[in-house]
Chain A
């Protein structure tokens, strides 16, 4: 597969502070790629550099092989869906959608037709003559999407486009976006701080923090096999345990859990000494033969799920998630419980 975007050792400095530190990344054609991270991690800066709103301090950005890092935004065949849509308030919906084509010199009849077609795709044909201010947030969002797609960009950039919508709408829009990406075959680069959004839509996700890429992979890879403590912590909920690691063979590491029991993990033998171990709450279960012992402190009722909040012997907290079922006999709060770890669920982390 050809690479739609290649980011090669890109650095971004704002004055004395470095927003992005030598970042390299390849995004395939026809991919739904997500940049995920907390605010201030550099994900939006990276997106704005691809769009051309920010200059790179060093490095190259290649679009289908061509370095575009020094082109102004109006000469880059990429389009952006802005966080707050940035619809032109004095133009009708149709003119907004047709604006990119107008700037490209497409004649009136053709761009009207194309804009109309785009509005049909986003189900807004009936609103073509309205002004943006006369639309709801969700409708404005779709106009912004149609406007950015109308000139048929090679790559579509989306800067937290769903963050201003309410939850219900956000969930519907996720599927619509994903579907639209499949239908158009355009590469989407999606920026968000919402891990659920990232997990449900993306082909691949890049987790960013403090101006660095932490991990790039599919949703499953990132969730199941986080590289480091930040990724494990940021994506979903997890239990982080401090363990003692000891390499016992070429590819096995023995870790000593709080309470003394041990666990053999397939990990590089470099891992020795104090380490963090991540275990997802849903991979733990109550089991009289379990290897972990903890004291149950609190049960949180979430409807479909129950969260058991427990504390290990060394004082570290542990959350166990279990399905809510009438058949489950729950221990009392304050009682000692034994917990087993699902095979392959524990993962040693680089800090």
Chain B
């Protein structure tokens, strides 16, 4: 980071104190320009009027939100009712992201556990292996996955070859394909935080639990999982949030029926079909949803303590 103050104690801190503000400036400038400004722009755009060939007209309008939530029929002359199309897409996206997160957790937790319990010297090698796929561009990896699972791809040929299926399994353009794609894209984001938590886990706690008559299963449930929970939650958030807004995997691996928020937003900014205020509005709604759920989660955590 550009401008965090010095970390030291007492005397040194006092000497640096007058410099704290100027030293923080670069950080604030970066955050402001690359984070706050774009988000602000998005919020503002969502309240503007759309220009038909993309872009906006600087005139206040609620049309974008109206389009999202309210249906007035095909020609706009029917009584207003709730528009289910986009809520449906949101719901499907939530579901897809949740399944992908679940898959990541299912595979990521044992993986992280395995790595964290290796001898220290070999841990970094295992971690390195986990991150290797990330040296390849996400687009290329997703396309490769499509090649692997398509009707006459290696997976189906193998399954038919060993006689497990008579015809190719239709995998491409299904929910499953999208879930697999998301799972594949974000698995390390699950593994790494859980690894960090398990690596810090004091295995004497498991011994203490066993000593106090807890079976292996109860030790896992009552002691190990609660203690490494922050790592699991961090992993789930790191997978769930980008999965929710992902558009590469759904675009490439899914079909029309697996349309997700990410693709919907993506479409609003493409070519003459686009609708910038509507795209911005969807983004604002998505972001509010995520922030609200994080807020509720944080509050629940605090009240628990």
Contact = CB atoms under 8 A, between A and B. Distances in A.
Partners in one complex: yes
Interface of A: 51-53, 72-75, 78-80, 82, 84, 86-90, 99-100, 103-104, 147-148, 151
A51 B227 contact: no
Given A88-B205, A103-B218, A151 B212 contact: yes
B212 A86 contact: no
9 contacts: A53-B207, A75-B213, A80-B208, A82-B204, A86-B207, A88-B209, A90-B227, A99-B214, A148-B211
Contacts of B226: 90
Contact of B213 (A87, A88, A90, A151): A151
B117 interface: no
A88 B218 CA distance: 14
Given A74-B215, A103-B218, A86 B205 contact: yes
A175 to B, nearest CB: 25
Q: 10 closest A-B pairs (Cβ-Cβ)?
A: A100-B212, A103-B213, A86-B204, A86-B208, A73-B210, A103-B214, A90-B226, A80-B211, A74-B210, A74-B213
B202 interface: yes
Contact of A82 (B208, B218, B227): B208
B210 A79 contact: no
A36 to B, nearest CB: 22
A100 B211 CA distance: 8
B223 interface: yes
A79 B211 contact: yes
Contacts of A52: 210-211
A72 B209 CA distance: 12
A148 B218 CA distance: 18
Contacts of B208: 80, 82, 86-88
Interface string B168-208: 00000000000000000000000000000000001011011
B204 A74 contact: no
Contacts of A148: 211-212
Nearest to A157: B211
Contacts of B214: 74, 99, 103
A100 B205 contact: no
Interface of B: 202, 204-205, 207-215, 218, 222-223, 226-227, 229
Given A90-B227, A103-B218, A84 B212 contact: no
Of the candidates A78, A84, A90, A100, the one having the most CB atoms from chain B within 10 angstroms of its own CB is: A90
Contacts of A147: 212
A226 to B, nearest CB: 34
B227 A89 contact: yes
B202 A86 contact: yes
A89 B224 CA distance: 11
Given A100-B212, A103-B213, A73 B223 contact: no
Contacts of B223: 88
Contacts of A79: 211-212
Nearest to B226: A90
B227 to A, nearest CB: 6
A236 to B, nearest CB: 32
Contacts of A89: 205, 227
Given A53-B210, A88-B205, 5 more contacts: A73-B210, A74-B213, A103-B218, A104-B213, A151-B212
A84 B215 contact: no
Contacts of A151: 212-213
B223 to A, nearest CB: 6
Of the candidates B209, B211, B222, the one having the most CB atoms from chain A within 10 angstroms of its own CB is: B211
A291 B79 CA distance: 121
Given A84-B204, A86-B204, A103-B218, A73 B227 contact: no
A151 to B, nearest CB: 7
Contacts of B213: 74-75, 100, 103-104, 151
Nearest to B206: A86
Nearest to A144: B208
A275 B199 CA distance: 53
Contacts of A82: 204, 207-208
A103 B212 CA distance: 7
A245 to B, nearest CB: 49
Given A100-B212, A103-B218, A73 B205 contact: no
Contacts of B202: 84, 86
B259 to A, nearest CB: 41
B205 A51 contact: no
Given A88-B223, A90-B226, A103-B218, A51 B211 contact: yes
Contacts of A75: 213
A77 to B, nearest CB: 9
A84 B207 CA distance: 12
B109 to A, nearest CB: 18
A151 B204 CA distance: 19
A99 B213 CA distance: 9
B210 A99 contact: no
A2 to B, nearest CB: 23
B33 to A, nearest CB: 40
A88 B204 CA distance: 10
A89 to B, nearest CB: 6
A99 B284 CA distance: 47
B205 A99 contact: no
Nearest to B223: A88
Contacts of A104: 213
Of the candidates B213, B218, B222, the one having the most CB atoms from chain A within 10 angstroms of its own CB is: B213
A99 B214 CA distance: 9
Nearest to B207: A53
A100 B215 CA distance: 11
A200 to B, nearest CB: 26
